[in-house]
Amino acid sequence: MEKTVAPASDASFIHDIQESIQDELSDVTFYAGIANESPDEISRLIITSIVGDEYAHARTQAALLHQVNPESAGAPPVPPPPNTGYREDILVAIAGEESAVARYAFLASEAPTLTIRYILTSILGDEYGHIRTWYALLQNLDG
């Protein structure tokens, strides 16, 4: 049996994971809109790969949620921000990814097991990589 860690209450962790799943699904929609705004095919493909990562993060967390609480109904959806233009949307995406890094650090600290902590920390690393990618796309746009 896996060792547990000293988490916050299970109810708090479940609620926070539910919200995180909805946030990831919101990112999927928002980032797909940015991909559609892309000025070139390479940027569109790069952003589409981030869309896939965000969807995978939601699926992974849904599996973790089911492991912790099979009866969980989920949280209400979080609407994505409206797309307002490629450059502006990249800046919003960067801010969102920075927030996600902090969220995953917090979730990892609440995790009920070491395995769940490791998985959430791995997602944190993905989000950090997305920040670097968004900055590279912004730099490419600015020349």
Distance between CA atoms of residues 72 and 29, nearest Å: 23
pTM for the model? 0.90
In the block, tokens 């993905």 appear at 126
Find out whether 69 and 18 touch, Cβ atoms under 8 Å.
no
Average pLDDT estimate for 40-67: 96
Which sequence spans correspond to the domains of the chain?
Answer: 10-142
Distance between CA atoms of residues 71 and 66, nearest Å: 7
The pair of structure tokens assigned to 34 is 């940015």
Q: What are the pLDDT digits (tens) for 48-59? A: 999 999 999 999
Which CATH code fits 10-142?
A: 1.20.1260.10
